[in-house]
Structure 1
Amino acid sequence: SILGNGFYNAFAPVATWSFEKARWRNRASMISELHITYKDNTKDIIISDSTWKVSSSSPYVQNNIYSGDTYDANKEIDGWDKPAFDDSMWTNARIMNAPSDRLVAETEPVIRKIKNINPISLKSFGDTVFVYDFGVNMTGGCELKIKGEKNTRVEIQYGELLKPNGRLEMRNLDIYYKPLPGLAFQTDVLILDGKECVFTPRFSYKGFQYVELCSNRPIKLDETNVTALNFHSDLKEVGHFSCSNDLLNQIWKAANRSYLSNVMSIPTDCPQREKNGWTADAHITMDLGLLNFDGIRFYEKWIEDMIDNQNSEGRISGIIPSSGWGYDDWIGPVWDAAMFIVPMALYDYYGDKQSISRIYSTCERYLTYLATREDIDGCVTYGIGDWVPYKTQTPTEYTTSCYYYLDNLYMAKFSEILGYDGSVYKSKAKRLKDLINNKYLDSRKNIYANGSQTSLAIALYLGIVPDGMEQKVADNLYQTVKGNNGYLDFGVLGSKTVLRMLSKYGYADMAYQMASKEDEPSWGAWIKKGFNTMPETWTLSPEFRDASINHMFLGDINAWMYNVLAGINFDPNNPGFKHILIQPHFVEGLDWVKGEYNSVKGFIRSEWKRVGGSIQLEVEIPINTTATVLVGDKTIFIEGGKHKFNF
């Protein structure tokens, strides 16, 4: 084995998130068991102990999770991993204390190489600079096959953009990076020994579409010398969507690419600049994740990280895991709501209450803490709200109040699911709902807060609007969007709620118009600019100093396509798809839609197309389930199997 640092031993100053100060930080160590089965079926177990031999000499002279690996081929030790190797000069391993009192086996899907990707183009700048384009933004690293003069230094830098002259553009990434001497951001270094070398970084991963190789001496390279290795947590694909509008198909693919780029043992925000488990990024994209990939074990592991992350006050940090950073007031309850939303989603999609049971006491302590932060009105108002809005900022005290309500509402549901008395949480949720409506609802105009797209959609989405007023608020949402010529004007919370609430209350055509826009601000504008993953902001500054090109948190439009256009939905009263809600919307501008989802109960398909002046809908649901088909004012109950309808 070769040991590297990873996040366990991140060293400063290479990023802004203080991982060099982490309580766990130490030299790399290992524990292992080698299980051997001999030809006669006898077995042996060899455990790591002080009889093992180690050497500090290695061609990996340094490695850092944010910068990269430095490999000196001159220091390779021939045959070190072969049985006949003479290790007499190596020292015995030292017994180390365990990094934690709890050593828990990894149960989530492993990070593995998913595929090799060949470059689609190569541009050389003389014989020392080469820029490769791999066609798609991804996570991973590159395999380099190269031969050159001894001690030639080759730097391999990874990025998402190109400058007008064709060289690598790094300004959107290294804004957060504080370099150590000799280390550049997202850069591997290879020192040649004069022989042919095959190099792959082992201890870092990057986010990239382009790779620039620079050498201090002339080298010869072509398209065959470099291969991208795309890797991430190996989640099984369970969903697929397509329709007659190829722009939507490309948006769907881009959202999936960004999602997969950010499943690296934890749900991260971006795979290059930060690599952090931002809590809201994860809970906003739960539907996107679970409709496309089997994520139960992945999120179960992260829920354990949440439990570990809670401090003595009851707070959790904005990034999980955390080195100790992120428990600040500026982050707050909208982000913290991940501890409620993530386990609830696992229950809705899988019918599994284990995660709710595991995190219940953590949620109890958190709500006890939040009660100490209530203002004179009895509400909590601090923290981030509708992050990265296009223009209009929804008041953060309003969105925080709404999510404080959601926390208590979900806690009451958790209690009911587990058979506990949740009356105190149910009462608190009702009181908060009344408080929000008294404070933020203009009942004459039927608008919330400042009347932004997000403020109206959030109240509808979370069920805060008083009974009987929902359609009036939804009508105002429609008028607000229509008054903006069908363009979006929201941030991350609006990206989750506006399309959904327009669709729910009779304005699916307007939602589709918004979803299929091609100029800024829109998802389609990103595609038209040539991006194949989802940027961090709706528009990028000319200086490229403000955003990564591979964030997932604005990607719920992908799940909206399944839920609204194809109409595949879980029934909250029958978790785990025991009963299925099929509610497609035949929006003007689409000729056909096809959605497929391999649920925990089996295969679900909803497919419709226009034939003449009518709609043909085909639905397939698992034999062991039932479903309700909802189209306009028609409600049709069906049992498992294949069904055809005409509307």
Structure 2
Amino acid sequence: MALSISQVSFEHHRTALGIAETSPRISWRFDGQVSDWHQASYDLEIQRPGKDAETFHVDSAESVLVPWPSDPLESGEEATVRVKSSGGRDKPSTSWSHPVSVEPGLLTPEDWKEAVVLASDRATEVNATHRPIYFRKDFALDQDIASARLYITALGLYEARLNGQRVGDHVLAPGWQSYTHRHEYNTYDVTDLLKNGENTVGLTVGEGWYSGRLAWENNRNIYGDTLGVLCLLAVTNSNGTKTYISTDTTWKSSTGPIISSEIYDGETYDSRLEQKGWDSPGFDKSSWLGVRELNFSKDALAAPDAPPVRRVGEHKLENVFSSASGKTVLDFGQNLVGWLRIRVKGPRGQSISFVHTEVMEDGEVATRPLRTAKATDNFTLSGGNDEWEPSFTFHGFRYVQVEGWPNETKLDADSVTAIVVHTDMEQTAFFDCSDSLLNRLHKNILWSMRGNFLSIPTDCPQRDERLGWTGDIHAFSRTANFVYDTAGFLRGWLRDARSEQKENNYAPPYVIPNVLGDSSATSIWGDSIVAVPWQLFQSFGDEKMLEEQYAGAKDWIDKGVLRNEVGLWNRSTFQYADWLDPKGTPDNPGDATTDKYLVSDAYLIHSTELVANMSTQLSLVENAEKYTKARAKLTNAFQDAWVSQNGTVANETQTGLTLPLYFRLFSDPAHYTSATKRLVNLVKGNEYKVGTGFAGTHILGHTLSEYGAADSFYGMLMQEEDPGWLFQVVMNGTTTWERWDSMLANGSVNSGSMTSFNHYAVGSVGSWIHENIGGLTPSEPGWKKFNVEVRPGGGLTEATTKFTSAYGLISTHWTLQMSKGHDNCSKKERVFHLTVQVPPNSQATVQLPSSGSEKKPIVVGSGVHEYESCVV
């Protein structure tokens, strides 16, 4: 395959329209299986409108996040970029890449011209649901149009239309941020939606996270109590002049067919109230109300780091059946996040209700786990052919109970479709092996990440919560960064985490954005401000992002942690610790078998070490020495508090042994060997069932592998009984669960009030799957160099793992077969065959499993490589 450049990107944007950076760093991937190819130099061509193209030649092996070589771009200034890469003497070069556009958004408040935030003149009830508002503006254009951009955000969520057509494909925009600190706006190319003469812009705004009900405490209006919208339409005329249409007090407002649309409770829509043509020229707006200007500072406005939330797929209806009480239930065969699209005809005024749940219980849709969330959409028919999907809500569901469906329309896959919605990150990992249950588990991990990476990383997508719990993403980020390109997504979320941390005595709140009020300092959840940036750096190698996030990590260790006299955690602090230990009771998920302060102290030492590592990476020598010494001192204090002289730990549990092993907290090398044996014995004695909660689960497998006991973790991974990962699969789970026993073996739902069937935390086992079955880990941040070390086991005979790195496709495929007199293997051994693909401009170190003498690692460049070894 010829060598080529497959993708050019800017910062961490696949689509770089309306970005925040004026000198965006440039990256490109390679396609092709060229042997041992490394870049020697590259050329960049930058074309700005009306100017000669600039070309830059750079002698460098770097192809990821290289510096912008030209003058900074200005607000709204578009440039197109092409890249060519050379392998140097006797090595092939690429041809020029396809041109890719990059364009900053509005970089200062002044760039918004005269645009102001508008609210309707309609009176609102402050403590009630906010009915969505419709805004419109007629305007004329009398010049030929060269290009046009719509810049828009809302105090709430918005949908935009121009001349009767929807603008863009974003949904639930602008998403959820810590709005008082960072309020995102979006940029759209609307050139093709405008025309000479009369035009109309129409906007709909719903309450969303801005002023809707959030969390179980029934909080409303956390950021504001009035729906508003801000937009600027910038039209570049063919003669180079500019025309601006902005939100001002000449706009009109009204209500419409959306009666209510709430995150938790769903949407109510009456199609009889539709006003045809409201978003097009010539509409009679005489009955519409005026608008008023809201006081709003543009200082918090920011371009997004993450991709937008989009409709990313459709899921067909699989079955229609009757519940035990005779109600009609739809089964989509997959627990997903999004909403329904319906196509229906029936009597005018008839209403249909749709109740969304994740599971069935006792033959009925299980609404109890939703707590106070209604998760119900209501649609009233117009009497004609109606097609509808909600605008400002979303649901986590597999099953939908339907009441009021008209006889005139058959309820089937043609009339009802599930729309899958999440932040539109690029999927970068794919896995398949010889065990069908393990394949389903991996699919479940991906589905739970999709459902919970919706604008922010949430805990669950269905009940009256859906919050950005910091402990959850701490546990899952290592997996998340492999299966999707999370760089921009987590960069934005971490900006909010830093802002919220500074307002909470330097302790990251339990949830980001913080809608729960004051949060006390607590380990693991607070440690996310250190661990998530470090994992992000390992995955993407972006030192600039690490530098952005360093102050938050340092402040947590220096100022946020509440300490006792020896520097460990104060023994009176609240701690979640090993949350959801499988032996915890349904009503007390924090009732763990491992002491909460042992857990917290271990994580404090680990975070201190990570800050030392960050300091080293950022060449902050004095800080690196400071935190390295602090780590050593804290380790001695940990040993005094929790480890006996013979190396036994105060809590000899799976978590209690995992933490000092993985974080290297023993004083004697012999203690690691004996502690590993005791941990393995615990696992065997527990019939290979999981005995860890949030603190231990995500590193348990990595600990066993590091100390040569991967086979023990294979036994846990393949366990089909509760508590175990495959128990969820054999119980027909299609996402990972919050509790190991969210559903009991008899099919009943856990009696606890905190029971979700879509929760990614226990899906953190995905990182072990990728790194041990797939064999893939970065050997330096960003994957320019990586390791391949497969650890076969668990009865698997074959596995394929693919990962799209910043350099291109990495893959491993291996098989394990009986030798049958193979030339190099005895009859008692099996033949391990491995195929590795290494992308151009990167390097792999391959370590083969072997039952013979230890083999030296094999260092290889790009291309496809095949190996064999003999294993018992």
Q: Same fold (TM over 0.5)?
A: yes
Cα shift at 1:406: 1.8
Correspondence for 1:377 among 566, 581, 584: 566
Q: Is 1:552 equivalent to 2:773 in the alignment?
A: no
Correspondence for 2:631 among 420, 429, 448: 429
Residue 252 of structure 2: aligned partner? 53
Kept in 2, the 8 Å contact 1:18–1:323? The answer is: no
Alignment RMSD: 2.3
Q: Is 1:70 equivalent to 2:268 in the alignment?
A: yes
Q: Whose helix proportion is higher, 1 or 2?
A: 1
Segment of structure 1 superposing worse, 543-552 or 523-532 = 543-552
Segment of structure 1 superposing worse, 41-50 or 313-322 = 41-50
Cα shift at 1:31: 1.3
Residue 771 of structure 2: aligned partner? 563
Residue 608 of structure 1: aligned partner? 814
- How far apart are the structure 1 equivalents of 2:499 and 2:224? 16
Q: How does 1:201-600 map to 2 (within 5 A)?
A: 201-215=390-404, 220-223=409-412, 224-273=414-463, 274-310=465-501, 311=503, 313-325=505-517, 327-328=519-520, 332-370=522-560, 373-380=562-569, 381=571, 382=573, 383-391=575-583, 393-420=593-620, 421-422=622-623, 423-444=625-646, 446-466=647-667, 468=669, 469-540=671-742, 542-546=748-752, 547-571=755-779, 574-600=780-806
Q: Secondary structure at the match of 1:562?
A: helix
Kept in 2, the 8 Å contact 1:140–1:205? The answer is: yes
Q: Secondary structure at the match of 1:7?
A: helix
Measured against aligned partners, the alpha-carbon deviations of 1:334-365 in whole angstroms (never above 9, x if no partner) come to 11111111111121111102222222222333
Q: If you compute each CA radius of gyration, which structure gives the higher value, 1 or 2? A: 2
Change (3 A) 1:431 1:47: same
TM-score normalised by length of structure 2: 0.69
Change (3 A) 1:221 1:467: farther
TM-score normalised by length of structure 1: 0.92
Kept in 2, the 8 Å contact 1:603–1:621? The answer is: yes
- How far apart are the structure 1 equivalents of 2:316 and 2:427? 23
Kept in 1, the 8 Å contact 2:789–2:846? The answer is: yes
Measured against aligned partners, the alpha-carbon deviations of 1:599-621 in whole angstroms (never above 9, x if no partner) come to 12322112211232311112222
- How far apart are the structure 1 equivalents of 2:236 and 2:299? 31
Kept in 2, the 8 Å contact 1:171–1:545? The answer is: no
Q: Whose strand proportion is higher, 1 or 2?
A: 2
- The unaligned stretches of length 5 or more in structure 2 are 1-202, 584-591, 820-829
Q: Secondary structure at the match of 1:95?
A: strand
Give runs of ≥4 in structure 1 deviating > 4 Å: 37-43, 124-129, 216-220
- How far apart are the structure 2 equivalents of 1:566 and 1:491? 25
- How far apart are the structure 1 equivalents of 2:240 and 2:556? 53
Q: Is 1:639 equivalent to 2:830 in the alignment?
A: no
- How far apart are the structure 2 equivalents of 1:524 and 1:244? 15
Cα shift at 1:219: 6.6
Cα shift at 1:415: 1.7
- How far apart are the structure 1 equivalents of 2:511 and 2:221? 15
State percent identity of aligned pairs: 27
Kept in 2, the 8 Å contact 1:50–1:92? The answer is: yes
Change (3 A) 1:17 1:315: farther
Kept in 2, the 8 Å contact 1:128–1:217? The answer is: no
- How far apart are the structure 2 equivalents of 1:458 and 1:505? 13
Amino acid at match of 2:656: S
Measured against aligned partners, the alpha-carbon deviations of 1:551-601 in whole angstroms (never above 9, x if no partner) come to 000012212111011210012xx2111221111102151111221111123
- The unaligned stretches of length 5 or more in structure 1 are 178-183
Change (3 A) 1:535 1:125: closer
Cα shift at 1:465: 3.0
Change (3 A) 1:219 1:154: farther
Change (3 A) 1:164 1:35: same
Residue 230 of structure 2: aligned partner? 31
Amino acid at match of 2:392: F
Measured against aligned partners, the alpha-carbon deviations of 1:137-167 in whole angstroms (never above 9, x if no partner) come to 00000012222323222211110112333x3
Change (3 A) 1:537 1:126: closer
Amino acid at match of 1:419: S
- How far apart are the structure 2 equivalents of 1:417 and 1:26? 45
- How far apart are the structure 2 equivalents of 1:387 and 1:627? 38
- How far apart are the structure 2 equivalents of 1:526 and 1:622? 36
Segment of structure 1 superposing worse, 478-487 or 86-95 = 86-95
Kept in 2, the 8 Å contact 1:288–1:558? The answer is: yes
Change (3 A) 1:126 1:324: closer
Q: Secondary structure at the match of 2:228?
A: coil
- How far apart are the structure 2 equivalents of 1:17 and 1:344? 33
Q: Secondary structure at the match of 1:555?
A: helix
Change (3 A) 1:397 1:566: same
Kept in 2, the 8 Å contact 1:159–1:209? The answer is: yes
